[in-house]
Amino acid sequence: MIEEGEIAGHAYRVLADLTVEIDTLLGARLFESMEAARRFVGAPDRAAARARSVA
């Protein structure tokens, strides 16, 4: 594990192969990227959030 934190109230872990494991109501789920994990839990995309804040 190289990083852990929280996205939209869900604990996550970035693994050595850069996949992201996130705790969901049904248990841990593995994603290929942080963006995919963020979309799954309904967290705003970082790029979209930056674009909105600049406008």
Query: What does the pLDDT read at residue 44?
Result: 79
Local structure of 26: helix, strand or coil: coil
Alpha helices, DSSP H only, in the chain?
34-41, 46-54
pLDDT tens-digit readout, 3-54: 999 999 999 999 999 999 999 999 999 999 999 999 999 987 765 544 444 5
The whole model's pTM is what?
A: 0.75
Task: Indicate the domain borders of the chain.
Answer: 3-54
CA distance 23 to 12: 6
